[in-house]
Every structure is written in structure tokens, then in C-alpha cells.
Amino acid sequence: MNKIHHALGLHFHQPLDNLLTLHNSPSESWEARQILRAYERPLQFLRGREDAARLHFSFSGTLLKQLEDPAVRETFADILDIEALVKGYRNAPVEIAGNGMYHPVYPLIPEFDWDAHTESWLGIGRHLFGREWFQGFWPPEMGFCMEMIPMLARHGFRYVLVDSYYIKPKRDMRWEEMRYRPYIARQDGSEIIVIPRDRELSDAQESGIDPGWFEHELVERTKWCDWPPLVTTWTDGDNGGWFRTADWEAGFWGHFLDPTLQKYRRGELAYQPVHIPEYLDRFPPTEEVEVHRGAWNTGDHWGGDFMQWTGSLLQKKGLDEIRLASRYYRRVTRLYESVADQLDDPDELKGDLLQAYDSLLRGETSCHFYWGSAWVPKAFDCIEETYRLLDSARDRLEAVRDRETRADSG
């Protein structure tokens, strides 16, 4: 019988400024403390279990910006040393996957902006975690499309997590077996390894899971596999009482993972915890697939149509305006490049353009579009700031261009 391998991942994300916003709300300050404790709990769990635990984490850039913020660190210093928390993940024997700086649904934003989100995340990720290479990429909201592959390859990612529902094999394959192996996907001369995430088992991981039931499910689901199967589950790790509870025995770490690892140490577990790179080194993929566009399932939608983020007229309008603002930014940037050598202080204008672009990227966060129409006005606020800065820069740049044109014609 082929040994079953299990890769367990948790995603950590908070909307930008959310920790301080919760703290400053008398009715919600308790929630910010619960969230921070949820980030501390994995490190507490790992102590003394490093030999058996194999964990993956993804951190959104918006969360990392808050964990780096001196104001956040000072505000919560009475309950948690955030600097020590970050150092704990820096030194822990865990895999950390890349993400996007402002947690956008990549297929829904302009392709031009993909590199900026990814490069910015890599910058803060390398700074905080002290790692030059992040092998895996966790797409925000699991929003993925094949067009992302060249971008991910450019930034050095070895593999990307995708929802198992969207795997499109190039040969006949049982659904039961299709989810439990890595594949190669290619686009425009670039390639990446895709790791399917089991949707149903991941749903169970997020809502509450019995270790015996989970072990039985892994055995039953992989019995058709004639290779060492890789079962991947990945969920939010900071939402819901399952991850936030202070009652160790009632939560994910005490009720599920601790007895699982105890059984593994005794040699009685039917599967083996594994880091994805470790599995790939031993069992490199050979089959090629395509992957349909899609995101992970939410409480209301299955993910393949992105309706969670595009279902209302206002959501669609917000995304349309983001595309227009991104196009405008590119136009003003080209104007800047054409007259930069004529500017008295090119760095000042370049700074304004960078500020405008950062505002646009902030507007692209998935949180602005997740909650129906409720948070879309926050995206419009970012877009308005983008236009304000770009309009001012364009006026100054056009004045320089027109002055040079008149000088040339004279």
C-alpha cells in the first residue's frame, strides 16, 4: 500500500488597519485579542513537536503590514510581544507561502498590477521572515487562472495551491484520484507545479474535525491511488471559535492535531504529515494539466464564477473603476517617462506616482468586494485618492511637455 501524505496549511489574513479598528471599538476590542492569540497558538503548539509537525502558513501582506506597524505593536504590548511572534515564525521549521501585498483576487484585477502585489509581498516577507525564497504561493481567496503562471515563475515560485474543483487533466482520470497528486501547468512558455487542495476536507478542517474521522476519510478517498497520494488541506486559521478558542482541548490544536501527532509518533497513523517541498523532492510531478479560472468556495458561492466578489452591480462597478484607474496610472506613468529628463525635481513627481499606485493597489483588496456592496465604497475612496494624485501629476507633466514643445517649435 502506498503511504498517504498529508500537507496541512493555514491562511492568516486581516483587512488593512483591522486590528486597530477592532481595538478602538468598545464592543469589538476582545476580537482583536482573540485574533492575535490565534497567531501565537501555532508557535506554542510546535514547541516539543518539531519532530512530527509539518505545517504550512500563508500571511496576507495587509496582515504583515499590521504586525510590522509600531503602533500595532505598542497597542497590543500588554497581551502579546508581536516582534517576538514574528521572530518565532522566522525561526520555526514551517513552510511559509507567498501571497499578494493587498490580498487581491488576482484574476479580477488588471494583469498589469499582479507583479506589484507579488513583489511588494516578497519584500515584506523577506524582511520579516528572513527567507530569500518562498517555494509556494497561496493565491488570495484561492483566485487563480492560467495567465498567472508566467508571473509566478518570474518571481521564483515552485508551486501554487489551486482548488481541486478546477483541475482539468489531459487524460481520463477518476475524480477520486485526481485531487491527490501534484501536476505541471504551462502557460506562454512558463511552468509551475500545481497542488490541488481537497475542498471538502478543507471545509471540515475549518469548521471542526475529529481526528479518527479524518484518518478514515484519507484512507477511503485515496484507496484508488496507485502512487503515494498527497492530500492537501488549507483553510483560514484565524477565523471562528475552532481556531480562536482559549480552551485547548476544544480547539483545532488540542482536539485534532495533538492526538493526531501522538498517534503518528507511535507509528499507528495511517498517513504521514509532510511539507510540500519534501514531497515534491521525493515524488516530482510528471503529468500536465490545465486549471480552470476560479476561487475557493465561500458560505454563499462555489467560487467558479467569482460571484462572492462580483455578484452585485456595485461590486462590478468597483472593479470596472479599478481597471480604468490602472489604465490611467499607466498613461500618466508613460507621460512621466517621456519628460522625466526635463523635470526640475523628478523624484518628487515619481513619489506622487508611487503614492497614487499604492492607493490603487489598496483599493484592489479582496475585502472591499467580499461583503457584497457594503465595503465597495472603501475601494472608491482609494480610487478617488489615486485620481487626485494622478490628475495633479498629469497637469504638471503636461505643462512641462507643452513648454518643451513650444521651445522646439520656436
- Report pLDDT digits (tens) over 310-319: 999 999 999 9
Biggest distance spanned by C-alpha atoms of the chain: 88
pLDDT at 212 exceeding the cut of 70? yes
Distance of alpha carbon 383 from alpha carbon 391, whole angstroms: 12
Give the 3-state secondary structure percentages of the chain, helix then strand then coil, rounded to 5: 55, 15, 30
Q: For the chain, which residues make up each domain, given as ranges?
A: 4-307, 311-409
Nearest to 291 by CA among 197, 369, 158: 197
Q: Is it the case that residue 390 has pLDDT exceeding 80?
A: yes
Q: In sequence order, what DSSP letters do the residues of 41-107 get, joined into one string?
A: HHHHHHTT-TTT--EEEEE-HHHHHHHH-HHHHHHTTTT--HHHHHHHHHHSS-EEEB--TT-B-GG
Average pLDDT of the residues of the chain: 96
Bridging pattern class, strands 230-236 and 271-273: unpaired
- Comparing 166 with 299, which gets the higher pLDDT? 166
What pLDDT is recorded for position 369? 98
What pLDDT was estimated at residue 409?
A: 67
Q: Would you state the pLDDT for residue 183?
A: 98
Question: What is the distance between the alpha carbons of residues 401 and 136, in angstroms, rounded to a whole number?
Answer: 45
Looking at residue 261, its amino acid is L
Question: Phi, psi at residue 37, to the nearest 5°?
Answer: -65, -30
Q: Could you report the per-residue pLDDT of 25-79, keeping only the tens digit for each?
A: 999 999 999 999 999 999 999 999 999 999 999 999 999 999 999 999 999 999 9
Concatenate the DSSP letters of all residues of 174-200 into one string. -HHHHTSS-EEEEETTEEEEEEEE-HH
Residue 190 in this model has a pLDDT that exceeds 70: yes
pLDDT of 203 > 80? The answer is yes
- Per-residue pLDDT band for 221 (boundaries 50, 70, 90) equals very high
Which CATH number is 4-307 given?
A: 3.20.110.20
**Residue 410 binned pLDDT confidence (cut-offs 50, 70, 90):** low
Q: According to the model, what pLDDT value does residue 287 have?
A: 95
CA-nearest of 101, 349, 77, 233 to 109 is: 101
pLDDT per residue as tens digits for the range 169-189: 999 888 777 899 999 999 999
Residue 408 has pLDDT above 90, yes or no: no
Say how far apart CA 39 and CA 290 lie, in whole Å.
35
pLDDT band at 406 (very low <50, low <70, confident <90, very high): confident
Cβ atoms of residues 176 and 196 within 8 Å: no
In the 8-state DSSP scheme, what is residue 3?
Answer: P
